[in-house]
Amino acid sequence: MIFGKTLTTLAAAAAIAAAAAVSVFAAAFALFAVLQPHLGAAGAAAVVAAVAAAIVGLAGLLAALKAEEKARPAPAPDAFAFAEKAIEMIKDRPILTVGAGLAAGIIAFRNPALAAIVAKALLDSQKPPPR
């Protein structure tokens, strides 16, 4: 069942690719046929080649821009923004903040190794990464 569905999907993709190739070829031939009486066979072929090169170049440029956009690292989180959010939460919900503080204290009291790991992670996240 899955194998048949996969083959059907691959056949559909191949049909779409073939249709796209035929369309591109037909468009190139139509451009050649329009330009051939005015420029001759060699001139029309040169224009068709130039148009194809321009399209390929534009597609490559767009692909390179998208790849560069994805390659940029995400901005580092701002420590001050986290502190500001924490202060806003303390002001907006003081009871919840006290409860969370008590829960964190109980967890730290029962498992000091976990508290040490969390404290180390918080302190290490504030250091700038090495270059």
The pLDDT confidence band at residue 67, using thresholds 50, 70 and 90, is confident
Q: Is the pLDDT of residue 8 over 90?
A: no
The per-residue pLDDT for range 70-92, each reduced to its tens digit, is 766 666 666 667 678 878 878 88
pLDDT tier, 118 (very low <50, low <70, confident <90, very high otherwise): confident
More confident: 101 or 19: 19
CA distance 1 to 11: 15
11-65 per-position pLDDT tens digit: 888 888 888 888 888 988 898 999 999 999 999 999 989 998 898 889 889 988 8
Find the mean pLDDT for residues 101-113: 78
Q: In the chain, what are the domain boundaries? A: 1-72, 79-125
pTM of the model: 0.46
